[in-house]
Amino acid sequence: ETFRAIAPGRVNLIGDHTDYTGGLVFPMAIDRSTVIEFAESDAMSLVSADVEGDEWLRYVEAVHRLVSGSRSVSGRVSTTIPIGAGLSSSAALEVAAALALGFRGSAVELAQLCREAEHDATGVPCGIMDQLCIAAGRAGHATLIDCRSLEVTYAPVPDSVKVVVRFVASRTLEGSEYATRVAECAAAEAIVGPLRDVALRDLAAIDDVRVRRRAVHVVSENARVRSFAGALSSYDFGLAGEIMLEGHRSLAENFEVSTAEMDRAVRELAETPGVYGARMTGGGFGGCVVALCDPEARVDGWVVAASDGARVESLSA
């Protein structure tokens, strides 16, 4: 009997570098996915024509070690998620692999296991946003995720806007300054307590200017997530777009994870007729920018639709 495990990519509309301090994020699962067609087997054997080399196997192996009583499968992996674009190709692979290997549990448990696998495979201390959005996605909706309680609230993405993703430059979490940012946020929290719970005025207690700027980003970004969700639900796309641009400025200036290339792409998009706003999305240092647009706007990039989360389907008639 053959099956198909499907896990979508994701794009984060607002709320970057907030997940690993238990903050708020607002991503959506997208209509590009990683698919593992598989059957149970005596030995583990997965091949892929879409992904070069065998680096991707370490993610599968990390998941295999963590899925309790995992089965061996043979099959093939295909993907329509661009690798290195900041659309969570690795998290999608982890989630699809866990389902193929027989994981049983809730979306939150699935996300927690796959986040641990990513830590094991890469050494990068990522948050849980990517895996949870992918596990819990819903067609037509973005997911407002509280990364402390792991509560997911679904927010409709109106038909009267389109979401466009433009690829700027390949990125890699490893070797980037991602882990440094995690450490800087931890340093801020050691002084003022959880960034989720403090106000901007409390950050004056942080003497180190760089650490304080990192904290300013996180505290203001959590507020932007709430404001953006409100603007989207009240169809105030102009305000939603302004909040995206403000978030990008903070990622560039306070958090210093943008690049000149990404700043330029955001500026170009923001000046395009019919574009409400744009920002870099994901960890930074390359990747994609995301724009909120009028459906009639003429914009280069991938138009993505909010899609269902990960699932397994039987292929046997």
pLDDT digits (tens, 9 = 90+) for 29-68: 999 999 999 999 999 999 998 887 888 999 999 999 999 8
DSSP states along 66-98: HSTTPPPEEEEEEE-SPTTSSS-HHHHHHHHHH
What φ, ψ does residue 152 adopt, rounded to 5°? -115, 125
Instruction: Provide, rounded to the nearest whole percent, the portion of the chain with pLDDT above 70.
Output: 98
Q: What is the mean pLDDT of each successive set of 10 residues along the chain, which is 317 residues long?
A: 97 96 98 97 92 88 92 95 88 97 97 96 88 98 97 97 92 69 97 98 98 99 98 98 99 95 96 98 89 97 97 89
Query: Which tokens belong to 271?
Result: 């000046």
* Statement to judge: residues 148 and 6 lie in one domain: yes
- Among the options 19, 42, 130, 159, which is catalytic? 130
Cβ atoms of 127 and 144 closer than 8 Å: no
Quick one: 230 and 292 in the same domain? yes
- DSSP label at 19? G
**Are 7 and 137 within one domain?**
yes
Do 61 and 151 share a domain, yes or no?
yes
Give the pLDDT of residue 173.
54
Residues 45 and 150 reside in one and the same domain: yes
| Cα–Cα distance for residue pair 261/253, rounded to 1 Å | 14
pLDDT at 264: 97
CATH of the domain at 251: 3.30.70.890
16 and 147 together in one domain: yes
Q: pLDDT at position 224, please?
A: 99
Residues 69 and 184 reside in one and the same domain: no
Write down the pLDDT at residue 55.
Answer: 85
Question: Rounded CA gap, 111 and 97, in Å?
Answer: 12
* 77 and 194 belong to one structural domain: no
- Whether 140 and 261 map to the same domain: the answer is no
**pLDDT for residue 169:** 82
Token digits of residue 124: 């990068």
Q: So what's the pLDDT on residue 171?
A: 66
The CA distance from 267 to 123, in Å, is 34
- Catalytic residue at 308? no
Which domain, by its residues, includes 69?
2-156+306-314
* pLDDT number for residue 53: 80
Taking the C-alpha atoms of 145, 260, 188 and 111 in order, what is their torsion angle to the nearest 10 degrees?
30
- Residue 103 sits in a domain whose CATH number is 3.30.230.10
Helices 129-136, 107-122: inter-axial angle, 10-degree rounding:
140
What is the Cβ-side half-sphere exposure of residue 32, based on CA atoms within 13 angstroms? 19
For the chain, how big is the Rg over CA atoms in Å? Answer: 19
Considering the domain architecture, whether residues 127 and 195 belong to the same structural domain is answered as no
User: 204 and 255, same structural domain?
Assistant: yes
Longest distance between any two alpha carbons in the chain, whole Å? 65
Residue 185: both structure tokens together: 């946020």
Which pLDDT score is estimated for 175? 54
At residue 13, what are phi and psi to the nearest 5 degrees?
A: -75, -40
Q: Domain count of the chain? A: 2
Strands 73-79 and 45-48: what pairing? parallel
Are 171 and 134 found together in one domain? no
User: What pLDDT, on the 0 to 100 scale, is given for residue 105?
Assistant: 96
Phi, psi of 164, rounded to the nearest 5 degrees: -120, 135
User: What is the pTM assigned to this prediction?
Assistant: 0.94
Of 275, 224, 276, 271, give the one whose Cα is nearest residue 247. 224
From CA 157, how far away is CA 229, in angstroms rounded? 10
